[in-house]
Amino acid sequence: MRDEREKTPLLTTLDLDSLKFYKANIALENVTSFTGRYFLMAPCILVHFFSYVFYNLVTTQYLYDFFARKLIQNVTAMEINLNGSPCTIIEDSVLYQQRTLIQKETTKASLTFVIAGCAPALFMDVIFGVLSDRYGRKLFVIISLIGTFVKTTMTMVGMHYKLNASYFIVFIAVEGFAGGWCAVISLGFAFVSDVTSVDKSRTNSIFLIEISVGLGLVLAGVTSGYLIDGVGFVYAMMVLTVLNVLNIFIMLFCLPDTVNETNCVKGSSLRLLRSSFTFYTRDTSATAKRWKYIVCMFIFIFFNFSALSRQTVDQLYQLNVPFCWDAIKIGWYSSLSDVSRNVIGLAVIRVLQHYISDELLVIVSAVSGCTAYLVEAFAVSDVMMFFVPVVGVFSMVTGPILRSIMSRMTPPDRQGALFAGLAMVQTLCTILVDVLTKTVYLATVETARGSVFLLSAGFCALVLLFFV
């Protein structure tokens, strides 16, 4: 066995091609790294994630209101809180039973929405990411943005005519077939990898994308509550539709591409699709060993299970007793949570990286996330809930560090393939986490609503244990 390994060349044909494209990529970097238009990818992702979170915040509260009208004889969700004790925890009361019924129906519907959007995206993310190594990142980003525009437009019309919630499944599936948010962010990471060298500048660029995501989340949280309260669901969705149109036009006419005839990867489409998984099936070079990719992928999966689980039931948890928050308070909490984790936490970590190793930062991230979930699981007041983002400030650090490590191990012409595989895993995690957490929430909403966050804390503990 040892002799066979010694006879096997360390560089395969694919690796020799990668070296050739690496030289071409260095020439590209020298030309493009100082061009300001390349930085437009960051605001594009900011707007796209603003759209993603804004849409989820609006539709979740729309569903809550929809089922309140449907199940309690045309009484709105807000009217349930009028008169008497709006946040009663007396289980025998009619108000408590009504609220629990609405919680269950909204949870089931939102779970269906996630599956409808993520199931087609599971395949499209890989196709878009891999083909972007040949045809460029810009084309597939624009396709994904168009899918988001169609989804928000159809949803706006559906809300105006008060269509049944089942129609929204079709609207969300349209975006899934266009790639969805995972496709956009994976293409964004591949884009910045194209124009940065294999050093700290790439890590900085990946952190810039992550912070852009965080800013989009923050702005969505602040504005959604006031727009819902001020102009209603339909006009709030109209604002989102206009923003998506502007984003498409900016990307179409202003953003340059980073892949051209000089540095695009050659080969059949089937070979390109297989390249997303070769990192984990064989050693692709003398330094980028398969085991390194596999270890990073396991940590990435555990991290996504912990990070994504927070987003699935947060709003439902806050709409329920003992909080009974309105749209404005939910929006402010969402913004404070995102600015803490995705902006302040990542910015502070960029400074700490000069003094602390990446390995230690991942451990700090896991401990921070685990602590935040434990506080949220046992929260009984608004003060305790608003303390959650404080202790969870570093919980999102693991993601960009892992992406940076894996990107530095990967040849320039295969960045799209790498991030396509990560996007597929992230989309699959989105589906699995949503099904798991909402199933747990449905089973415990009447007895121990915080149990779902204990599950999330367990995922953080797995990240910590596996990494250590």
CATH code for position 176: 1.20.1250.20
In a domain, 281, yes or no: no
Angle of helix 41-71 versus helix 290-319 axis, rounded to 10:
40
Task: Tell me what pLDDT residue 381 has.
Answer: 87
7 has pLDDT over 60 = no
Judge whether 185 and 217 are in contact, CB under 8 Å. no
In a domain, 45, yes or no: yes
Convert the pLDDT of each residue in 346-366 to its tens digit.
Answer: 888 778 877 888 788 888 999
Q: Please, how many CA atoms are within 13 Å of residue 304, restricted to the half-sphere of its CB?
A: 22
Mean pLDDT of 446-450: 82
Judge whether 49 and 216 are in contact, CB under 8 Å. yes
Q: 193-217: string of b/e by CB count within 10 Å (b at 16+)?
A: bbbbebeeebbebbbbbbbbbbbbb
Taking alpha carbons only, the member of 213, 191, 176 closest to residue 141 is 191
Task: Tell me what pLDDT residue 145 has.
Answer: 95
Task: Tell me what pLDDT residue 241 has.
Answer: 95
464 has pLDDT over 70 = yes
Task: Tell me what pLDDT residue 405 has.
Answer: 83
In a domain, 351, yes or no: yes
Out of 7-11, 78-82, 110-114, which region has the weakest mean confidence (pLDDT)? 7-11
Cα–Cα distance measured from residue 224 to residue 55, given in angstroms and rounded to the nearest whole number? 9
Convert the pLDDT of each residue in 110-150 to its tens digit.
Answer: 889 989 999 999 889 888 888 888 788 889 999 999 999 99
Tell me the pLDDT of the chain averaged across its residues.
80
pLDDT band at 197 (very low <50, low <70, confident <90, very high): confident
Task: Tell me what pLDDT residue 11 has.
Answer: 34
29 has pLDDT over 90 = no
pLDDT band at 378 (very low <50, low <70, confident <90, very high): very high
Task: Tell me what pLDDT residue 198 has.
Answer: 64
Name the residue with higher pLDDT: 85 or 224. 224
Domain containing 126 equals 37-73+92-256+287-466
Task: Tell me what pLDDT residue 202 has.
Answer: 74
The total number of structural domains in the chain stands at 1
pLDDT band at 178 (very low <50, low <70, confident <90, very high): very high
Convert the pLDDT of each residue in 202-245 to its tens digit.
Answer: 777 787 888 888 888 888 888 888 888 888 899 999 999 999 99
In a domain, 426, yes or no: yes
In a domain, 13, yes or no: no
Q: Above pLDDT 70, what percent of the chain? A: 82
In a domain, 78, yes or no: no
In a domain, 7, yes or no: no
Mean pLDDT of 299-309: 88
Cα–Cα distance measured from residue 226 to residue 236, given in angstroms and rounded to the nearest whole number? 9
